[in-house]
Structure 1
Amino acid sequence: MKSTLRTIGTYACAMALATTFAACTKTVAPITDPPNASAEKTPFPGGASITPRDLTATYELPHEPPPYDPSLSRQEFARFAWRQFIYLNSPARPNPGDKGPAGAPPVIRAEIDRSRNFASSGDPNFYQSGTGGNTLGRNHLIWETFAHRSELFPVKSPPTGALQYLYPQYALANISVGKELARFNNLDETTQIGQNQIFFPRNDSKPSPNPYDDHMILFEAKVNHVEYNYIRNTLGKTYPSTTELPRHIEFPPNKGNSDLPAGASSDEESIEVKAAWREMSDGLIKSGRYHTAEALYYVNKSTEGAPSGSKIVPRVGTFGLVGLHILRKTKNYPAFIYTTFEHVDNLQKSGNPKDSTGLYVVTLYDTMNYNPSIKDPQAFVNAGNGQLQTFTLPTEGTVDLDHGYPIIPGSFNLPSGFAGPIKVGPSHAMTPAVQAVNDEVMKVMNSMPEFNNSVWKYYRLAGIQILPVDEDSPTVPVNNPGGLSPLTEDFYLANSVIESSQPGIQLFKGAVSDPGMRGAGKYQLLNERSMANIQQVRGLPLTANKVVMGGCMGCHGNAQYPRANGETGTGPTIFNFLTTQDTLSGKGFEVEVRPTSIAEVRKRTQVYMK
């Protein structure tokens, strides 16, 4: 992928660039705090500098940011993101044994342990040291105890019971997991939203001829007790009905929504988590650089020596956390606040920039086109320094080197209709403001003996999105004629292990049609980069309610319920891929099986971009 830096000035300059990129050379400083900002600044406690107390106190979830205004700096939002990470990665409260019904888990789910803190959970043996006496274990991070997507929408039955005292129960469309194997981390997804599979090479940095011999990254999606209770209360006795589906699903906070059933309104905040875990070698487990935990995953077990006789078998293994999305809906930010963190070793071994891990993806399609067609596809990234960095995207056609994909040379055995392997590169959303706050947090950690051996020293914030906004682009008027909008600094927010391929999800904006969906061919990915994906969001100003957004927020903007004829969402319910007509009518989710050969690659389920 080629990239260049461009400086964008006034509206006229932007329009000139629509026809000739060489027409404008004026440098414009980024928008900064207004004059006398210190006297006018909105109070933002969560945006204050990170201190040792933040890392060791019994922490509370930081209060939501105040309503956005330009005096709030990007560094403040980055510190807020870190405070969320600190809270959610603190230990969950152990159950003393007298809380909840018989058979309750050994922790109180979604509740913080006030006798321990973020430093405690940074112990490389945090999970393992709490496994005595119970297969589930007593040492878990707060977010790990959230409701798994299959607990939110069990197959053929409504969610039941108080989440705080509910033992993990996984009722999926193609398997149910017994209590003896249940773990809080249930890695039932093997793809990046049905588009790619992603691997670390097992030997050195070169992919194996059979990718399924390498270390695969697996995924899970979870929601907090607020979303869980909302679904349980909203569906009521209608679930799992196909004729009495809710008119709208709008997660809290949703006060004042007259479309909701009685008692469903709430000022509490919804939180969603998407986690990426890598299969671990013994050496990586012993390195002390990863938060590790036992997790469920699924394989095919052949009963007759052939794939046709295979069955799905749940397994338990030790995995390392490599990526974490945190989505939080608040009153001031009804389109959710998106933050994402990743491990420093995702692309470089032990953080050494000269030693690549060889991380790669295999696409579940072999052709890619744009709708409408784009002759010179590009993405324009606000670098946070007054400049736009221009990235040339892969061109239409076959997914290969000639069309702009960094294909790794060699002979590889891939399933029909798949392509690759493709080398994974870093996300382009990292900005100077985010990097500065990462450095600030690491400086505090390195000054504290409690973090000498902490796994948390190896995780970094990748970026944060707070409000939808159109891309700063030379082909359209920039958001502010006097410079670049600070809201677009994270426009292409992505995580190298959760959004890896370009242009499918790493430099994503608008919408995509997955293979076989909405006019796309059987093995074709169709990019629709001009489609407005933020529409009719209750609480947003009208100017932000028909936006072609990018990154995580833009992708989730496509997840609307109800949908019009299965196509474009009509709102106002958006940002949750879990809520569909299928899940609301009791069809539940299917586990995706971790294959070992191309013969075992199951037919992918397209649940995200229907």
Structure 2
Amino acid sequence: MRTLLFSFFLLSLISISCESGKKDKKLNSRVGFSQKMADFDCGAFCDPPSVTYQLPADSSCVNSSQNVMNCFAWKNFLALNWLASDQRGVPDTAAVAADYGMPGDYKPTVWESYLSIDDVFASKPPAQWNLRSKNGYMKYINEINKFTDINASLPKPKLKAMLGGNVDEIMQAKGAWLTDQSGNIVWYEIRMNTIESDFVRDNKLYNYGSLSAFAAQNQGVWFPMESIEIKAAWRIIPEDQLESLKNFYKISMAMVPEIEGFDKNNKPIYGKYSQKYLGLVGLHIIRKTNQSPQFTWMTFEHVNNAPTDGKVDPSVKYCFYDPKSTDKPNQSPVPGKDSLNKPVQVVRIADNAISPEIQQLNKQIQNMIKASNPKSVWQYYQLVNVQWPENPVKDKDNNKKAPLMTGGITPKNIANVTMETYIQEKQCMDCHKNASVGDQKYPTDYSFIFLKVKPKLEK
């Protein structure tokens, strides 16, 4: 039976494309479905992944091997993409696995109920979570670059000192964008779980004076354990394609602005907002635990984003790759020169190819999701890689000035084609170890979110 399911899954996966797809045949589903532990190489003492709202604990098996961490990543992905409840950051425990990822269900997931970076760093208290409002929950999204949390207006010498290397490259060519093969740009958002956002709000770290004083007093800003940051990449789902694409993407509704141009700093000038349907194409999950104080860095993508260089599947219509294009892959557009609507040719570089072990795990998890709910959109997502510290360093033992220690972070090849499109040769810690605040370079726990806090916002 398992062989039959696997064969059927491969056939159905090949049939889907970025633009359309056929409905899957129904399979028996059941609540809380999981495969036997023997099916997963997750370590002798680790529970295998299952379709559940329960976030995995930082157990004794974490940080023992790459395969264990791959399973840990999938368990985080499954839980954080459960439907949210009426309480921010809390799953809807009345929802069942048989409905997990139902097409056309636009309600927010657990991570989508987290506060956005704009809410966290607003001077006024963020609005209450209101899933049951008259119009339902509607988020606003206004970032066209995954790196917009790094302040592009900072002087180049300071950026180079903080980040190292080619600043323009790290900044994705001064805030450039990614356009899919339909001619629509990708939108990004950053969110923090309640533990992290409460820490920022309670200590008034949205205020530059408070942030500087706190960093000096504590020799850095160190997040509480179990802090989680999420970075997501979304593509526009054209309304005339909604009925077909809703079967293959996690889709959310959002208010999205028009882009009227760019200012002298190459930052976008936004116009009026309108409601759009967005399909999830990339998801970063970073989580700080006792055994991973340097965070566990987990990244996922939609299966049809782009091929690995030299391994194009002619049966797949990719979202960010055109086999007929003669454009050089992974070239960042230039503000003021290139059209927002010109598709960017994207490939996954060979050094970042998804490993055979992760490919096998992905197939197992996708089959498990499908067995739970044959219609689930989550069966069309894949783990790309997980980065974790083999020799973790406790906060108290870490450097008190940037750069921070990396804790023996492994592996060295990790990139999401929707978020590190133009810098796939870099890895998370190349930049994040340099995250800091103030002239003293007090570290900010591998996070660049505090670069949103600027002196000019002081009152």
If the TM-score is normalised by the length of the shorter chain, which range does it land in?
A: 0.5 to 0.7
- Does structure 2 conserve the Cα–Cα contact (< 8 Å) formed by 1:222 and 1:274? yes
Q: Confirm or deny that 1:274 pairs with 2:251.
A: no
1:216 matched to 2:92? The reply is no
Cα distance change of structure 1 residues 222 and 413 upon mapping to structure 2, 3 Å threshold: closer
- Match for 1:225 among 176, 185, 194? 194
Q: Equivalent of 2:75, from 71, 79, 83?
A: 83
Is the 2:146–2:231 Cα contact (8 Å) retained in structure 1?
no
Larger strand percent = 1
| Corresponding residue number in structure 2 for 1:506 | 424
Hey, what does 2:178 align to over in structure 1? 198
Residue identity matched to 1:233: D
Residue 448 of structure 2, aligned match among 574, 577, 602: 577
Deviations 1:378-425 (CA, angstroms, capped at 9, x unpaired): xxxxxxxxxxxxxxxxxxxxxx98xxx5489xxx99723899975211
1:323 matched to 2:241? The reply is no
2:199 touches 2:224 (CA, 8 Å); kept in 1?
A: no
For 1:433, the equivalent position in structure 2 comes to 357
For residues 278-319 of structure 1, the C-alpha deviation after alignment (integer angstroms, 9 at most, x for no partner) is: 0113325423000111012111579xxxxxxx8721221111
Aligned length: 357
Alignment of 1:481-492 (within 5 A): 490-492=411-413
TM-score where L is the length of structure 2: 0.67
Residues 147-186 of structure 1: matches in 2 within 5 Å? Answer: 147-154=115-122, 157-159=123-125, 165-167=128-130, 183-186=137-140
Match of 1:188 in 2: 142
Distance of aligned partners of 1:200 and 1:267 in 2 relative to their CA distance in 1, 3 Å threshold: closer
Distance across 2 between alignment mates of 1:272 and 1:221: 7
CA contact (8 A) 1:82 1:461 kept: yes
Q: Secondary structure at the match of 2:279?
A: strand
In 2, the alpha carbon distance for the partners of 1:321 and 1:466 equals 24
Q: Measured at CA, do residues 278 and 243 of structure 1 come closer, stay the same or move farther in structure 2, by a change above 3 Å?
A: closer
Structure 2 counterparts to residues 518-533 of structure 1, below 5 A? none
CA contact (8 A) 1:74 1:434 kept: no
CA distance in structure 2 between the partners assigned to 1:249 and 1:424 by the alignment: 40
TM-score of the superposed pair, with normalisation by structure 1: 0.51
What is the CA deviation profile of residues 153-191 of structure 1, one whole-angstrom value per residue up to 9, with x for unaligned ones?
Answer: 01xx24457xxx4459xxxxxxxxxx9999554321112
In 2, Cα distance between equivalents of 1:311 and 1:466: 37
SS in 2 for 1:221: strand
Q: What letter corresponds to residue 79 of structure 1 in structure 2?
A: C
Relative distance call for 1:301 and 1:507 in structure 2 (3 A) is closer
CA distance in 2, matches of 1:295, 1:248: 35
Cα shift at 1:559: 2.2
Amino acid at match of 2:67: Q
Structure 1: segments with no counterpart, 5+ residues: 1-41, 94-106, 128-138, 169-178, 203-213, 251-257, 303-309, 362-399, 470-486, 509-550, 589-610
CA distance in 1, matches of 2:256, 2:298: 26
The residue type paired with residue 346 of structure 1 is N
Q: Which runs of 5+ in 2 are unaligned?
A: 1-41, 148-170, 262-268, 392-407
Cα RMSD (Å) of the superposition?
4.1
1: CA distance, partners of 2:390 / 2:144 = 29
Q: Structure 1 218/417 Cα, relative in aligned 2: closer, same or farther at 3 Å?
A: closer
Pair 246,339 (structure 1): closer, same or farther in 2 beyond 3 Å: same
Aligned residue among 175, 197, 213 for 1:247: 213
- Note the alpha carbon deviations across 1:218-263, whole angstroms, 9 max, x for none: 1111101111110111128xx64x544443459xxxxxxx8299xx
Question: What is aligned with 1:467?
Answer: 389
TM-aligned CA deviation for residue 352 of structure 1: 8.3
Quote the sequence identity (%). 25
Contact 2:142 2:257 in 1 (8 A): yes
With over 3 angstroms needed to count, the CA separation of the structure-2 counterparts of 1:285 and 1:583, relative to structure 1, is farther
Match in the other structure for 2:54: 60
**CA offsets per residue over residues 186-218 of structure 1, 9 Å max, x none?**
32111242413111222xxxxxxxxxxx12111
Structure 1 match to 2:320: 359
Is contact 1:462-1:495 (8 Å) kept?
A: yes
1:110 aligns with 2:89: yes
User: Which runs of at least 4 in structure 1 moved beyond 4 Å after TM superposition?
Assistant: 42-45, 179-184, 264-268, 417-422
CA distance 1:560–1:496, change in 2 (3 Å):
same
1:240-389 superposed matches below 5 A: 240=207, 242-248=208-214, 259=218, 268-281=225-238, 282-283=240-241, 285-287=243-245, 288-300=247-259, 312-347=271-306, 353-354=313-314, 355-357=316-318, 359=320
Distance in 2, matches of 1:585 and 1:445, equals 48
Whole-Å Cα distance in 2 between the matches of residues 247 and 461 of structure 1?
Answer: 39
Cα gap change, 1:85 to 1:149, in 2 (>3 Å): same
- Contact 1:67–1:332, Cα closer than 8 Å, also in 2: no
Q: Output one character per residue of 1:509-564: Cα deviation in whole Å (capped at 9) or x when no partner.
A: xxxxxxxxxxxxxxxxxxxxxxxxxxxxxxxxxxxxxxxxxx12333223222454
Q: 8 Å contact 1:227–1:270 — kept in the other structure?
A: yes
CA change 1:265–1:555 in 2 (3 A) is closer
In structure 2, how many angstroms separate the alpha carbons of the residues matched to 1:558 and 1:290? 35
Partner of 2:166: none
Q: Which residue is equivalent to 1:605?
A: none
With over 3 angstroms needed to count, the CA separation of the structure-2 counterparts of 1:121 and 1:184, relative to structure 1, is farther
**8 Å Cα contact 1:198-1:360 kept in structure 2:** no
Q: Give the superposition deviation at 1:496.
A: 1.2
Q: Tell me which amino acid in the other structure corresponds to 1:247.
A: A
State how far apart, in whole Å, the 2-side matches of 1:335 and 1:441 are: 27
Tell me whether 1:456 sits opposite 2:414 in the alignment: no
* Aligned pairs (5 A) from 1:105-144: 107-127=86-106, 139-144=107-112
